[in-house]
């Protein structure tokens, strides 16, 4: 029987308004031998999606929901281990692999606030620090999933190259060391768990009295926002006295792109290119969201803009009271790759040139950030290798 809509189900999202491209990867073959006609179609759909929106949902991508759910179950089991066991897997400050507990990470450098979420990073497949002994099966399943994401990223990289009229292997060759370890490439798979929102301030273990919103899971200090439409602009947030929060929590990823799976509608918002409004993405079960990152923006001379995104505490009670899981694969080029838009053929249409101009400002910011990030990776590499 059809169920009547409740107030909670009425939320408008990019997905419900058909404002987010959905790209079907069925029958695409394997990363090594992709089916040519499928790659060509995907390439043109990706090119359009990333030029217009910077994001798209990928469906029939070959990573089953079952596998994603198993990984989230493993993460839940890990989070429930006694603190002294978890301690062995804590990620050190300069390390890439390992676990960070709620409060250990900060949202960003300019206006840092603690991330109230559990995160487990895998940057090296077969990393010694995967918890096999306390959790039999964890290591094999998560390593398998990391390989699946790497293969999917490999397929996307080939499609991106074709969409930009580059040789098919152009990006793939520059991402040849994904998951070989952060000395060579800082790509990583991150399992994430955002615990349910706690209403009572005293129960907020990490930041008593200071929990605000976005990436934070305590409700009591939430700004009093109602989701009247699917949008809140930065101006709305300033008017509500939330400027620090809005700016502090927004972020673009410093990678080529991010592949993101979520287990539920849980507050993921994006700012689409040339928009100052946050929009709720919506949840398409089993789909993987691709989010264009800063490196791709620099590489494509801002043809593909890096997309700001954040996770806010959902306003619906039913969503707040559930934890949220996600899995992010951050796809980075090999550390020594130099990123230059001169690699791309230069024949943008007038329309593309217009929208490129509009993005120039955010592009400049991205470029500064990317180059400094790259510099630091290179310096660290040099230090460790004595060259």
Ligand X SMILES: O=C(O)CCC(=O)C(=O)O
Minimum CB separation of residue 355 from ligand X in Å reads 24
Does residue 309 interact with ligand X by CB under 6 A? yes
The nearer residue to Fe ion, 72 or 257, going by C-beta atoms, is 257
Stretch that binds Fe ion, among 78-86, 100-108, 212-220, 247-255 (CB under 5 A): 247-255
Cα distance between residue 73 and residue 184, in whole Å: 30
CA-atom Rg of the chain in angstroms: 20
The nearer residue to ligand X, 63 or 161, going by C-beta atoms, is 63
Minimum CB separation of residue 317 from Fe ion in Å reads 26
Per partner kind, with CB cut-offs from 5 to 8 A, the member of Fe ion, ligand X, none near residue 268 is: ligand X
Question: Could you give the dihedral angle defined by the CA atoms of residues 196, 198, 204 and 205, in that order, rounded to the nearest 10 degrees?
Answer: -40
Position among 31, 182, 253, 301 found at the interface with Fe ion (CB under 5 A): 253
The nearer residue to ligand X, 172 or 312, going by C-beta atoms, is 312
The nearer residue to ligand X, 43 or 219, going by C-beta atoms, is 219
Does residue 237 interact with Fe ion by CB under 5 A? no
Stretch that binds ligand X, among 175-183, 195-203, 260-268, 372-380 (CB under 6 A): 260-268
Position among 129, 262, 308, 337 found at the interface with ligand X (CB under 6 A): 262
Q: What angle do CA 297, 213, 228 make, to 5 degrees?
A: 85
Per partner kind, with CB cut-offs from 5 to 8 A, the member of Fe ion, ligand X, none near residue 152 is: none
Cα distance between residue 70 and residue 76, in whole Å: 10
Does residue 115 interact with Fe ion by CB under 5 A? no
Place of tokens 């400049």: 364
Does residue 260 interact with ligand X by CB under 6 A? yes
Does residue 253 interact with ligand X by CB under 6 A? yes
Minimum CB separation of residue 68 from ligand X in Å reads 13
Per partner kind, with CB cut-offs from 5 to 8 A, the member of Fe ion, ligand X, none near residue 260 is: ligand X
Question: How many residues does the structure list for the chain?
Answer: 387
Does residue 294 interact with Fe ion by CB under 5 A? no
Minimum CB separation of residue 268 from ligand X in Å reads 5
Does residue 339 interact with ligand X by CB under 6 A? no
Per partner kind, with CB cut-offs from 5 to 8 A, the member of ligand X, Fe ion, none near residue 311 is: ligand X
Stretch that binds Fe ion, among 14-22, 252-260, 357-365, 372-380 (CB under 5 A): 252-260
Site for ligand X in 162-201 (CB under 6 A): 192
Q: Where are the beta strands (DSSP E) in 136-200?
A: 188-194
Interaction site with ligand X (CB under 6 A):
192, 253, 260, 262, 268, 309, 311, 326, 328
Interaction site with Fe ion (CB under 5 A):
253
């Amino acid at each position: 029987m059809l169920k009547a809509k409740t107030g909670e189900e009425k939320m408008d999202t990019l997905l419900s308004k058909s404002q987010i491209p959905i790209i079907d990867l069925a029958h695409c073959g394997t990363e090594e031998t992709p089916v040519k006609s499928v790659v060509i179609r995907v390439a043109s759909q990706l090119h359009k999606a990333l030029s217009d929106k910077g994001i798209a949902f990928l469906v029939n991508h070959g990573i089953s929901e079952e596998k994603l759910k198993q990984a989230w179950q493993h993460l839940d089991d890990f989070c429930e281990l006694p603190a002294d066991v978890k301690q062995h897997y804590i990620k050190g400050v300069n390390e890439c692999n390992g676990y960070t507990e709620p409060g250990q990470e900060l949202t960003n450098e300019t206006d840092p606030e603690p991330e109230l979420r559990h995160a487990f990073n895998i940057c090296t497949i077969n990393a010694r620090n995967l918890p096999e002994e306390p959790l039999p099966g964890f290591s094999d399943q998560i390593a398998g999933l990391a390989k699946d994401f790497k293969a999917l990223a490999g397929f996307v990289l080939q499609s991106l190259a074709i969409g930009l009229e580059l040789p098919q292997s152009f990006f793939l060759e520059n991402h040849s060391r994904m998951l070989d370890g952060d000395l060579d490439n800082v790509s990583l798979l991150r399992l994430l768990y955002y615990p349910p929102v706690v209403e009572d301030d005293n129960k907020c273990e990490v930041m008593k009295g200071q929990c605000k919103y976005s990436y934070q899971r305590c409700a009591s200090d939430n700004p009093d926002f109602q989701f009247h439409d699917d949008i809140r602009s930065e101006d709305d947030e300033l008017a509500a006295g939330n400027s620090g929060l809005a700016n502090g929590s927004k972020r673009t990823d410093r990678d080529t792109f991010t592949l993101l799976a979520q287990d539920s509608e849980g507050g993921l918002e994006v700012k689409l290119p040339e928009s100052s409004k946050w929009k709720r993405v919506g949840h398409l079960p089993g789909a993987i969201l691709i989010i264009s990152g800063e490196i791709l923006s620099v590489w494509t001379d801002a043809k593909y803009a890096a997309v700001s995104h954040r996770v806010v505490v959902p306003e619906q009670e039913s969503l707040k009271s559930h934890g949220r899981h996600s899995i992010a694969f951050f796809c980075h080029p090999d550390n020594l790759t130099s990123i230059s838009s001169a690699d791309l053929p230069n024949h943008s249409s007038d329309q593309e040139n217009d929208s490129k101009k509009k993005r120039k400002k955010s592009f400049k910011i991205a470029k500064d950030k990317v180059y400094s990030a790259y510099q630091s990776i290179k310096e660290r590499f040099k230090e460790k290798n004595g060259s």
